Amino acid sequence: MEIEGKVAVVTGAASGIGQATAIALAEAGAAGVVVGDVRPGAMDETVARIEQAGTRALALQADAGRLADWQALFARVDAEFGRLDILHNNAGMGEGEAGWPGLDPLRSLKLIEVNLGGVVLGTQLALPLMQRGGGGVVVATASGAGFAPLPPQAVYAATKAGVIHFTRSCAPLLESHGVRVNCICPGLVETPMLYEPGGGSVADWLRPIYDAVELLTPDKVAAAVIALIRDDAQVAQAVIVPN
């Protein structure tokens, strides 16, 4: 899909991969980029960068794990732009310092709601709006952790594996709705999620991996998202972005 003139939604856009993708879409000529995050004030920089590229920006507070937030977001997109062409289901969260099985069960539930539920809800609710405009592209942020066991982050890994299998199961949407669904699976990325909450340090279980690889930048992952959007041959693929 050609990005120029299209309308896009990016979740988890206050920082990291979501912010980088939102800016890249604007720089590629998107007519509008709608950014969502649970922290509305944290999206100010993202909005400013989108507008600097000459693209209309709209920031909406949204929790990807809440159905009502998704419904409100798409209703606003429809009202403001009348179409939706691109969705980057990027919002996600980690298990935090405790990790599996020590994390609070409520956090386990929230991980599932946001990391997997957000991808499912976002994709499902985007379909009517995309189909009305002739089709679209959905890209989700999965993870390399979705391909192999990760005992210290078992819930996180399970949600990302779910995103990969959900993506592969969405292949028929191209024929039925004109919508291509893919996901990216990056390795370690230099984002706030990489560090323990409030501590600014890498979790002990992650340190050996952290020290052994060169971290991906959000811009490099965003470039992979843009490539998937543009490549009409890519359908229901889980694309690894290696360190």
pLDDT in tens, 65-93: 999 999 999 999 999 999 999 999 999 99
Q: By the 8 A CB rule, do 77 and 11 touch? A: no
- What SS3 class is residue 204? coil
Q: Which of 91, 169, 179 is nearest to 128 (CA)?
A: 179
Is the full-model pTM beyond 0.85?
yes
DSSP bridge pairs for 216: 189
Which residues, at least 6 apart from 153, have a Cβ–Cβ distance to it below 8 Å? Answer: 94, 95, 99, 100, 145, 205
- State pLDDT tens for residues 164-188: 999 999 999 999 999 999 999 999 8
pLDDT of residue 7: 98
Q: Which residues of the chain fall below pLDDT 70?
A: 195-200, 205
- Please give the pLDDT value at position 167: 98
Q: DSSP letter string over 14-82? A: TSHHHHHHHHHHHHTT-SEEEEEES-GGGGHHHHHHHHHTT-EEEEEE--TT-HHHHHHHHHHHHHHHS
Closest to 96 (Cα-Cα) out of 185, 12, 198, 15? 198
User: What was the pLDDT predicted at 63?
Assistant: 97
Distance of alpha carbon 182 from the chain centroid: 11
pLDDT given at position 196: 56
Domains of the chain: 7-241 (3.40.50.720)
Catalytic center residues: 156
Per-residue model confidence (pLDDT) at position 199: 56
